[in-house]
Amino acid sequence: MATVVNRVRRNFYMDSVALMRISTNISSRTKVDAAALLIGSVANKNLIRTAGLLSADSDGAGPNDLIIAVRAEDDGAAAEAIKEAEALLDAAGADISKTSGWGPKTLEAALQELPGANLALISVPGEFAAAEARRAIENGLNVLLFSDNVSVAEEIELKREARRRGLLMMGPDCGTAIIGGVPLAFANVVPPGSIGIVAASGTGLQEVSTLLARNGEGISHGIGVGGRDLTAAIGGITTFAAIDALDRDPGTRHVVLISKPPEPVVAKLILDRVGKSSKSFTICFLGVGELSVPPNACLVSDLRSAAEQALSGKRVEWVARPDPSRLAARIEAGRGKLLGLFSGGTLCAEAQIFLRRAGLPVRSNVPIPGVDKLNGDLDDVHVLLDLGDDAFTVGRPHPMIDPTPRNQKVAQALNDASTGVILFDVVIGYGASSNPAEELAMHLPPVNARKALLITSICGTEADPQCYSRQRQQLDDAGIVVAPSNAHAAELAISVVANIARAPT
């Protein structure tokens, strides 16, 4: 019978990425079902509880403490896992003390070192994030707030104060921005250009900016606003500020606005503001096909179309698109389901749009309008999963940082007798895995032993550290079909599924 054991380290702090690496190491042990190393904040306790990893041992843990949580097959395996986790923590702490040089301990000390700085990137536990962001704004800094678990009330307060001071408050939970050519957080190396992007989606911004880059266009700025900005509660505060900033920018000629469908009242206010701009706009409200927009704007419902509109109508082509019927013939009979395993939530949502257009039954853990949330009987539906969701990342790195859990799910899906097509994304750039294509290939059986088809696209550029063409070649060598965009990959997957359905039984 499984046992759950927690150990609390009092007054202990370590970088979250280091903690995630240790938890991944512990989770891979024999007889260990799951492990997480997180500070004892209320939000983290809720995550650990939801994952079935919280025990009474952690009742007194607070935000200054570290919880080591393990679920294992028996008491002995749990005890050994805890012991190894503590040893790894000690070793990591010793390495940090040996190699880390002096660094500013406070925002004020950092400003003394860089008196000309005008932006702070904040990535601290959610309980402390709002206070740090407030201090940065009060010191005249624009803010990219990478942290999540910030309350709506705190977000409103921060954004209103930033707007009052003429500053940008990007986030919370803002994963991507490119300001003046500088990539921040998860972002790609794209050339300078005249397209500005305002996005309530990190991977949405990445997909559009990299499609532009690979088709000869650059961007002036890519401004992330946080996933809640266009809700009725927030009211688009940072989106308005970003549009104002790009409107004033002489280097921006066209603006792309990316979001999942906003609240109708907020959408109307945003579109009214767009209509007053001297710039032209592409509005990409994912999945929204009908909406009245001003004369200087064009409405699209997917990321590829957003990039094409920004490219003045130039198509993102797939010159050597493979024949879907030939691909379907490679799949074992009886395997008719499509499984999507995404690291980018917006890329997962975009794929759903194409399945919905094709009339295919689909469910997902990140549903868009017209798509049912993942629950109930899934025997007769196609499933698309965002593996970056909290349910999959408790105590573990995001799959863009460490794709191992996703790669394992891909390998498992190849053995599922009902799955014929596995659709997934590969996101490269700053912050992402150093070689995701190679790591995936290591988990796969030989091509001639596979009974299902793998289809992907790469969100990235040639100038990214992982190099687009090098990643593509490795995926090609692994027998994976590589499309030029996430939209193309979804369309091909749908065509293959349709060919399977037409095949004689």
Only one residue has tokens 């570290």, namely 66
The pTM for the full model equals 0.89
Which residue ranges make up each domain of the chain?
3-99, 107-310, 324-502
Please state, in angstroms and rounded to a whole number, the distance separating the CA atoms of residues 106 and 145. 16
Fold designation for 107-310: Rossmann fold (3.40.50)
Q: What is the mean pLDDT of residues 465-489?
A: 98
Structure confidence at residue 25 (pLDDT): 85
Give the model confidence (pLDDT) of 131-168 as tens digits. 999 999 999 999 999 988 899 999 999 999 999 999 99
> Going along 119-165, which residue ranges are E strands?
119-122, 142-145
Q: What is the mean pLDDT of residues 39-46?
A: 87
Only one residue has tokens 């701009």, namely 277
Structure tokens, 453:
């088809």
**First CA to last CA distance, the chain:** 44
φ, ψ of residue 275 in degrees (nearest 5) = -65, -20
Neighbours of 291 (CB within 10 A): 15
Reported as a pLDDT band with limits 50, 70 and 90, residue 359 is very high
* Percent of the chain whose predicted confidence (pLDDT) is above 90: 75
Question: In DSSP terms, which residues pair with 284 in a beta bridge?
Answer: 258, 300
Number of helices (H), then strands (E), belonging to the chain: the values are: 17, 20
Which of these CATH numbers, 3.40.50, 3.30.70, 1.25.40, 1.20.140, describes 3-99? Answer: 3.30.70
Three-class secondary structure of residue 284 per DSSP:
strand
Give the model confidence (pLDDT) of 284-335 as tens digits. 999 887 889 999 999 999 999 999 999 999 999 999 999 999 999 999 999 9
Indicate the range of 33-42, 112-121, 166-175, 226-235 predicted with least confidence: 33-42
Q: Which residues contact 103 (CB under 8 A, 6 or more apart)?
A: none
* Amino acid making up residue 359: G
Question: In DSSP terms, which residues pair with 143 in a beta bridge?
Answer: 120, 169
Fold designation for 324-502: Rossmann fold (3.40.50)
Neighbours of 325 (CB within 10 A): 14
Three-class secondary structure of residue 331 per DSSP:
coil
Q: What is the mean pLDDT of residues 343-364?
A: 94
Structure tokens, 302:
């997917």
Matching CATH topology for 3-99 and 324-502?
A: no
Structure confidence at residue 329 (pLDDT): 94
Cβ(412)–Cβ(424) under 8 Å?
Answer: no
> Does residue 100 register a pLDDT over 80?
no
Please state, in angstroms and rounded to a whole number, the distance separating the CA atoms of residues 176 and 356. 28
Give the model confidence (pLDDT) of 1-42 as tens digits. 789 999 999 999 887 778 888 888 898 888 999 899 988 988
Indicate the range of 66-80, 96-110, 256-270, 463-477 predicted with least confidence: 96-110
Query: What is the separation of C-alpha 492 from the centre of its chain, rounded to a whole number of angstroms?
Result: 23
Reported as a pLDDT band with limits 50, 70 and 90, residue 437 is very high
Residue closest to 243 by CA, chosen among 208, 183, 283, 216: 283
Q: What is the mean pLDDT of residues 228-257?
A: 97
Residue closest to 430 by CA, chosen among 196, 212, 175: 175
Burial 66-105 (b: 16+ CB within 10 A, else e): bbbbbbbeeeebbebbbebbeebbeebeeeeeeeeeeeee
Please state, in angstroms and rounded to a whole number, the distance separating the CA atoms of residues 256 and 237. 17
SS3 sequence, 210-228?
HHHHHCCCCEEEEEECCCC
Q: Please tell me whether the peptide bond between 294 and the residue prior to it is cis, using omega within 30 degrees of 0.
A: no
Please state, in angstroms and rounded to a whole number, the distance separating the CA atoms of residues 273 and 276. 5
Structure confidence at residue 404 (pLDDT): 87
Please state, in angstroms and rounded to a whole number, the distance separating the CA atoms of residues 260 and 301. 9
Residue closest to 425 by CA, chosen among 385, 370, 373, 464: 385
Reported as a pLDDT band with limits 50, 70 and 90, residue 378 is low
Please state, in angstroms and rounded to a whole number, the distance separating the CA atoms of residues 269 and 374. 32
Please state, in angstroms and rounded to a whole number, the distance separating the CA atoms of residues 124 and 133. 10
Please state, in angstroms and rounded to a whole number, the distance separating the CA atoms of residues 81 and 86. 9
